[in-house]
Amino acid sequence: MTGRYVGRRLLQVLPTVAGIVLVGFLLIHLAPGGPIIALAGDSGDEEYYAFMTAKFGLDRPLPEQLATYAGNVLRGDLGVSYIQGRPAIDVIAERLPATLLLAGTALVGSSVAGVALGAWAAARAHSIRDLAVTSAALVLYAAPVFWLGQLALLTLALRTGLFPVQGMTTAGGPETGLAWALDVARHLALPALVLASQEVAAVARLTRAGVLEELAADHVRTALAKGLSDRRVLVRHALRRALLPVVTVIGSRPGHLLAGTIVVEVVFGWPGLSRLLLTSVQTRDTPILLGIFLLVAATVVLANLVTDLVYGWLDPRIRYR
Amino acid sequence: MGRGWAGWLMLLAVLLAACTGSEPGTTESPTATRAPSPDATATATDTATTAAPTGEETPSPTQTAAGGGTLVVAISSDPGGLNPAITTSGGTHTASELLYNGLVDLGPDLEPIPELAESWDVEEEGALYRFHLRDDVTWHDGEPFTSADVKYSFEEVLLQLHSRTQASVGPSLESIETPDEQTVEFRFSQPYAPLLQQLNVTEAPIIPRHIYEGTDPLENPANNEPVGTGPFRFVSYTPDAEIVLERNPDYFEEGLPHLDEVIMRVIPDEGSQVLAFEAGEVGWLWGVPGPDQERLAADPTVEFLQTPVNPGGANCIMTVSFNLERPIMADLRVRQAIAHALNRDQFLERVLFGQGQVAAAPISSGIPWAHAEGLDMPANDPAEAERLLDEAGWQREGDGTRTAAGVEGVDDGTPLAFTFVHFPTFSAYGELLRAQLREVGMDVTLVPLEPPVFAEQVFTARDFDTNIISYCNATDPEIGVRRMYHSSNIGEVPFSNAAAYRNDEVDRLFDEAQRTIDLEQRGALYRQIQEIAVAELPYFWIVETVGTRAYRSSCSDFQPSGHFAKTASCEQ
Amino acid sequence: MTDRGGGSAPAGQPVLRIRDLVVEFDTPDGVVRAVDGVSYDVAAGETLGVVGESGCGKTVTVLAVLGLLPRRSARVVRGEALLGGMDLLRLPPRRLRAVRGKRVAMVFQNPMTSLHPALTVRHQIAEALRAHDRGLPRHAARRRAVELLDAVGVADAARRARGYPHQWSGGMRQRAMIAMAIANEPDLLIADEPTTALDVTIQAQVLDLLREVRGRTGAATILITHDLGVIAEMADRVVVVYAGRVVETGDVHTIFHAPRHPYTLGLLAALPRLDTDRQSLAAIPGQPPDLVRRPSGCAFHPRCGLHRGRNRCVAQSPDLATVGPGHRAACHYADELAAETARAAGMSAAEPGDGPGAPA
């Protein structure tokens, strides 16, 4: 049953993503400005512009450009970057490991920490620890990411020298093996921390609210009456159902964490997709832009699917046919 | 606790730096330190003495004979590729110029210096240039460098894809001949004076024919694994992260380079660049934001190098353009009034933190033979501005915005309001200009636009009243100045004649200057142009911008741009 | 401390003794005294019926004993709850947990919400077993859980146990709850409105089950309900609670035939009867008391037919006084009631065993 459901949902991915890419294509081409100026800089004459425009096929009518692009995508060809002259798929794929590392670490870390903190706070609602968790979450959520990042750099990196200031690796540092992994880990720590701190807040507060509600439920009383420990009741009985809305929130984040973390990537010099997205927007590098749209759209749709499946696992009353 | 406060101020300073935006991505001028004279190669063994860059602002210690060391450099953006011949992008050039060479380099006073060409003849009053190439140059992959590489680079690449070269050299170039492997001849349909200024690694880098011929230069994978002739060789390129270059042991200038490795790290945020420099992760900054300069200057181990030459453009002037096709701006008195109302010293101080200088002439002081001295530039005189506006028919009641009363092409009662279009990074200029012009009764609306949109709105749609552009003059007025004033450059091509300025005399003078070989005569012609420009004010020139490099005193002997690290060395 | 299984106390000995329990709640409207000095005992092998209106404090009493009241808003002001020699109200949490589900087990009112919807029934019962026997391996616990379900009359227990509560019917769920409660053979079983949420026919089955369980294990049972019919059928002794106080206690026959508290009488009189000509139900006039602002004196006096404006009812709260062998009532004028009920006995009298669900 679940297998068929998954299959059906996967089929839905295609038209959704196609629709997003179509809208993206139209929006990019309708927006003012084009890629030639990024290549020309502040020089160039008419001949140059004519030459480059023809080279990229930008003088063709819009439907023709769209048809060409769509045809290519179906064959797995995302086009060639105007600015870099390399296949868009290569350019994007190169950034993927760094992005996945940062986004994945932040997502997993913030989810685990958020759920733990939220449940911990709810267990002693309205106490000092609850107040501490709730206000800390609020402060972190409200603090601008840029400020948090710079603060982290100044205090944790520059002052103490514990963490590096920039990049994913040390210049001229180890390139393979455990030493390299440790080097990357040291560089990953601060940006992941800053990114996660923004995510933790929502998860913690939502978990807290859900657990609080669940703790008032009858079945929790039954569990306690059975003689189960507070911790077991909290984790195995109350938390499980409280997590449903939390799972939804966490499931809505992968798309954003993939290409929407521009501030963190810029402040810490992390070579991820968000920066690529920004420069592609500034230079109107359409193949890269559309490639990233495609990737993010697919990620969001897949994350949705996974969320629904996790739902079904958390609450067996939800059944999919 | 005192140190704690310093930390907060630093944070605030960093934030402010980010908000106000840095100076434009301008280029440096070669007026600072410069490479050895043409005879340097003969006395190559004694590199210590020949490579003696003493910049205008750098109290650098005299170099040691010791070499070696690794230099880590911060760059602001991913180059996107390492071929400087197919683009004029500053990012690409910063990262890749160390890998290549041009035919002719330029000294501190823009005098030509041999590079790949060891000597040249100028014949037919500048219609024929013959270059004699060195015979001891090899590409990084071992292949010999020949004249065929030069011919290929120009014909198939530079004249099509390098926008500056294509626009300036292209029109009058007739042919490129290679009589033998060590000789290249450039033949022009009429004398072409500025050729020697356009042959360095920034304007015309030579790329290997044996790798690029028959392929599309824009997509050849060698763009990411470059093979050049330059002082450094390619090691690795991690996109948006790091580029590693190593010393080229077979480099044709003997004894150079000294450094073992140059590593370029992509750090997009200026504030983070400074932090990385302070943390010791980076040893060279291409530009230090104004607010941070004081703090870094207090550190005795930090050296500075100031220059108007930057990889993206040289000798740049922040220039206000007036759209002469608009009735308000068509009136010379209004333009003069604006010029008098502006306090250019304030721009220098507040926007550039004193780095640079007020523009004394339409052509940059970085091109000394063309820069006109003693011109009658409109001085800061708000009273005169008001008088001119009154005369032009713009009435003022009290301290409000002026309204039209008998102005040609404008209905009576129309307020003196107009738009000012600019890149978002130049918003500080807009704010200051608006404030200064409000004093004399002008209401300016700021319109910040991203570069692609700016280009369309200003040049394609011509929908603006005034704007500000960093017009880079480059190394010769033919390259960067002509396009602003020549009537043939009124059109859709961005960053050309924004004002839509038309003056037959000026056109004629430019055409003649292009053909005139004698530098003094050329200078006189450009002087005439500048006098007319100042009188007619199609533009108003605010400030000449510079870049401020920073490095540690454990390193020395840098050049401002291009092969900036060729002669440098760092203590281990 | 070794925990003895159910039934090991000799019949007749009190298993739980509640003494002068007072419980207060903080509400936005003020402090509510939900339990105002309740005392009763329950002996091994006996079923004690605790009856009263909704909100009279009968459930709060047992929740307080088990320490299941919300920590922040509820507090036990005073009192004792003696299980054997231990005062449950003063046990440290860990020891109280050892008691819950092992020596004292509870069956709750609404089995749909009282069972965890996302855990299998088998798991929930096994959990109860393993909570008190750490060494019990998982598969053994599961097997035992199925056995228990079988014992409470769930058909096809092995398969059904792997299902979830929402897949079970109401009656079966309650059976499962009972199975869970008796899993560790408690000395005391507390059933809080076990049949209220069920259909009438299912009610009968569940009551049968409870009776069977009681007989098999010999445990003491506290049966909390507002349904007199259930009391009549199941209880040995009865405690009547009003406004957080015990107003009458006695054996079931006496309570039904010769109640000595006007409230008890009112409850009995309100029972629907088929054998009279009465057109409408004889409800007790008035509303249940506001527990924030309690009536002075006897809490029942505003609704009492016996009060007749007499001052003593308003001035002084009556204590439980002995009115017969094993029979106590808290009313100043209990004797007057005796006379009246005797008069009315000829007209209509509810017999124990006449309530709904009586075995045919």
Q: Do B453 and A33 touch (CB under 8 A)?
A: yes
For the segment B473-497, what is each residue's pLDDT rounded down to a tens digit? 988 898 889 989 998 888 777 888 9
Residue C338 touches partner A, C-beta closer than 8 Å: no
d(CA B282, CA B273): 8
pLDDT of residue B37: 35
d(CA A20, CA A17): 5
CB A98 within 8 A of CB A105: no
User: To which residue do tokens 């292949």 refer?
Assistant: B143
pLDDT of residue A261: 87
pLDDT of residue C38: 92
3-state secondary structure of A115: helix
pLDDT of residue C309: 80
Question: Residues 244..263 of C with a Cβ closer than 8 Å to A: which?
Answer: none
Phi, psi of A63 (to 5 degrees): -60, -35
Question: What domains sit in chain C, N to C, each tagged with a CATH number?
Answer: 14-235 (3.40.50.300), 241-274+282-343 (no CATH)
Mean pLDDT value across residues C177-188: 91
Question: Residues 108..137 of A with a Cβ closer than 8 Å to C: which?
Answer: 125-126
- With a cut of 80, say whether residue B447 has pLDDT above it: yes
- Which two structure tokens, joined as six digits, stand for B506? 């000026």
CB C131 within 8 A of CB A228: yes
Q: Return the residue of C nearest to A125 by Cα.
A: C72
* Strand ranges inside B413-532, DSSP E: 417-422, 443-448, 466-472
Mutate to test the interface with B, among A45, A51, A80, A151 (most CBs of B within 10 A): A45
CA-based nearest distance A303→chain C, Å: 23
Residue C347: band (very low, low, confident or very high) from pLDDT cuts 50, 70, 90: very low
pLDDT of residue B30: 32
d(CA C58, CA C35): 8
Interface C:B, ≥3 CB–CB pairs < 8 Å: no
Q: Return the residue of A nearest to C167 by Cα.
A: A317
pLDDT of residue B166: 81
Q: Return the residue of A nearest to C132 by Cα.
A: A227
ipTM of the complex in this document: 0.83
| Mean pLDDT taken over chain C | 84
Partners of B311 on chain A (C-beta within 8 Å) are none
Burial B171-203 (b: 16+ CB within 10 A, else e): ebbeebebeeebbbbbbbeebbbbbbbbbbbbb
Q: Return the residue of A nearest to C66 by Cα.
A: A225
Q: Do A228 and C98 touch (CB under 8 A)?
A: no
With vertex at residue C241, the alpha carbon angle to CA C237 and CA C245, rounded to the nearest 5 degrees, is 120
Residue A222 touches partner C, C-beta closer than 8 Å: yes
Indicate the residue type of B300: P
Q: Do A228 and C101 touch (CB under 8 A)?
A: yes
Give the closest of B88, B281, B455 to A166, CB-based: B281
How many other CB atoms sit within 10 Å of the CB of residue B355?
21
Q: Do C128 and A125 touch (CB under 8 A)?
A: no
- With a cut of 80, say whether residue A148 has pLDDT above it: yes
Mean pLDDT value across residues A261-276: 90
Q: What is the DSSP string of B91-150?
A: HHHHHHGGG---SEEE-TTS-EEESSEEEEEEEGGGTEEEEEE-SS-B-TTSPBP-HHHH
Residue C158 touches partner A, C-beta closer than 8 Å: no
- With a cut of 90, say whether residue C188 has pLDDT above it: yes
pLDDT of residue C342: 63
How is residue B315 annotated by DSSP? S
Phi, psi of B377 (to 5 degrees): -75, 140
Residue A316 burial (C-beta neighbours within 10 Å; 0-12, 13-18, 19+): middle
Partners of C166 on chain A (C-beta within 8 Å) are 317
Neighbours of chain C (3+ CB pairs under 8 A): A
- With a cut of 50, say whether residue B34 has pLDDT above it: no
Mean pLDDT value across residues A68-84: 85
Q: Return the residue of A nearest to C99 by Cα.
A: A227
d(CA B114, CA B131): 10
User: Strand B70-75 and strand B261-266: pairing?
Assistant: parallel
Mean pLDDT value across residues A65-92: 86
For the segment B365-415, what is each residue's pLDDT rounded down to a tens digit? 999 999 999 999 999 999 999 999 999 999 988 888 999 888 888 888 889
Q: Do A227 and C97 touch (CB under 8 A)?
A: yes
Phi, psi of C9 (to 5 degrees): -75, 140
User: To which residue do tokens 């109200």 refer?
Assistant: C89
Residue A58 touches partner B, C-beta closer than 8 Å: no
- With a cut of 70, say whether residue B63 has pLDDT above it: no
Phi, psi of B493 (to 5 degrees): -70, 125
pLDDT of residue B493: 78
Percent of chain B topping pLDDT 90: 59
pLDDT of residue C333: 84
pLDDT of residue B28: 29
- Which two structure tokens, joined as six digits, stand for B326? 């608009």
Residue C278: band (very low, low, confident or very high) from pLDDT cuts 50, 70, 90: low
Most confident region among A28-32, B1-5, B500-504 by mean pLDDT = B500-504
For the segment B129-152, what is each residue's pLDDT rounded down to a tens digit? 999 999 999 999 999 999 999 999
